[in-house]
Structure 1
Amino acid sequence: MKFLLLPVAALLTLSAANAQTWNVDKSHSRVGFTVTHLLLSEVDGNFKTFDAKITSAKEDLSDAVIELTADVNSINTDSERRDGHLKSPDFFDAAKFPTLTFKSTSFKKVEGKKYKLTGDLTMHGVTKPVTLDAFVTGPVKMKGMGGKEQEKVGLKLNGTIKRTDFGVGTPGGTTVSEEVELKAAGEFAKQAAQ
């Protein structure tokens, strides 16, 4: 039994050692959402402060683990009054739950550059699994500022959640839809091996 464990441990260590990290370029990325207001119009919002990374041992990112954090206090819907209400205990309760997080548990290719991304979303102190549609572009190598070559990849995500599943806002009503469309798009740069 001991002899079997050693090769398995060595393979796991080798796989972890070969993993590459791709960090988000925040100036070319966005984490947002859309809700319906009064059953009439759509309101878009985003989180101004966020971070994200992709970790993958495979060049085609087919084994990617995607992680995201967003500062709930940075919510922006182009209305200070509405943003304040969203941060209040009526919705996100940002003072008590200041961070929203997502960590993937599965990244499966559908076809071409389309994937299904499943992971755990934690919001308002509640963690639930969610599945999102993902679209990957790249990776591509290009010269950045200063002429330094860098490898980059693009990732778009979208999907729908029910806000009350996470205890955000009250159920029912027509002011704000229970369904929230999540939308994120990011440009990620491969980090040099350490």
Structure 2
Amino acid sequence: MSIFSRKNDEAQTTGDTATTSAVDPALAALSGEYVIDPAHTSIGFTVRHAMVTNVRGAFQEHEGTLTLDGEHPENSTAAIDVSMASIDTGAPDRDGHLRSADFFDAEQFPKMTFRSTSAEERGGDSYRISGDLTIKDVTKPLTIDLEFNGSATDPFGNQRVGFEGTAEMLRSDWGLTYNAALETGGVLVGDKLKLTFDISAIKKAPEAA
């Protein structure tokens, strides 16, 4: 059963049948605000290079929060900030170029941000969250498909939840248009990017009254 699923119990009454809905207490208990654990979270991407292979990379510095609503999943939210200077593709020269004004202009625009605007339960452990992704000075909608990986209490007493997800985007929609033509036809860098998310988040303790 997924984190946001609701149980339906059929109650028999005299002469007819009524259906009532009850929330699984174990799932409802997961509702609350969570802080993304950067040490156990990865945000990466894949893009086509020279028309023949893929380059993969990740952002090493990020932070964010999740607010989960076990009774009404459509009210769940996410907010993520990513440091653009933390990009790592395993090639320092390429990373420096990606930080430059040709691409992210990380000095002038140090953060990429995502702020959710809606959430949707899609059955089982599958969810879809939509929101606004801002890169440099351009904000466009982005939809992320997520799978709930479960919850656990770690050895330090932290209650954790895990999600993994993917999204696709065209970098040109966010003004990332740098490219170079190939002698054999085509371009050096593909327009389509696949984003990947593997998120571990820790539930915040209730504030003292």
| TM-score normalised by length of structure 2 | 0.77
Paired position in structure 2 for 1:188: 201
1:144 paired with 2:155, answer: yes
**By percentage of residues, which structure has more helix?**
1
In the alignment, the residues of structure 1 paired with residue 67 and residue 37 of structure 2 have an alpha-carbon distance, to the nearest angstrom, of 15
Residue 91 of structure 1 aligns to a residue in which SS?
Answer: coil
CA distance in 1, matches of 2:89, 2:166: 18
* Count of aligned pairs between the two proteins: 172
Structure 1: how far apart are the matches of 2:116 and 2:179? 27
CA contact (8 A) 1:99 1:123 kept: yes
From 53, 65, 71, the equivalent of 2:83 is 71
Aligned to 2:63: 51
The answer to whether the Cα contact below 8 Å between 1:35 and 1:181 also exists between their aligned partners in 2 is: yes
- Shift, 1:176, TM fit: 0.7
Q: Over residues 42-93 of structure 1, what are the superposed CA-to-partner deviations in whole Å (9 max), with x where a residue is unaligned?
A: 1111111100210134368553101110010111100110001001111111
Shift in CA distance, 172/61, structure 1 to aligned 2, threshold 3 Å: farther
Gap runs ≥5 in structure 2? 1-30, 182-186
- Measure the CA separation in 1 of the matches of 2:44 and 2:169: 13
Alignment partner of 1:134 is 2:146: yes
Q: Output aligned runs, 1:30-109, within 5 Å.
A: 30-58=42-70, 63-109=75-121
In the alignment, structure 1 residue 170 sits paired with structure 2 residue 178 = yes
Q: CA RMSD in A?
A: 1.8
Q: Which amino acid aligns with 1:70?
A: V
Q: Which residue is 1:14 aligned to?
A: none
Q: Aligned in 2, Cα 1:57/1:130: closer, same or farther, shift over 3 Å? A: same
User: What percentage of aligned pairs have identical amino acids?
Assistant: 32
Q: Which runs of 5+ in 1 are unaligned?
A: 1-18
C-alpha distance in 1 between matches for 2:104 and 2:177: 8
Change (3 A) 1:59 1:141: farther
Q: Which whole-Å CA distance do the structure 2 matches of 1:171 and 1:76 have between them?
A: 19
Distance 2:58 2:71 in 1: 30
Q: Deviations over 1:89-147 (max 9, x none)?
A: 11111111110000111110111011111000000210001111111122x342423xx
| Greater C-alpha radius of gyration | 2
* Paired residues of 1:164 and 1:171 also in contact (CA < 8 A): no
Cα displacement (A) at 1:26: 1.5
**Distance (whole Å) between structure 1 residues aligned to residue 72 and residue 206 of structure 2:** 17
Q: Which residue, out of 156, 174, 184, partners 2:164?
A: 156
Secondary structure at the residue paired with 1:111? coil
- 2:28 maps to none
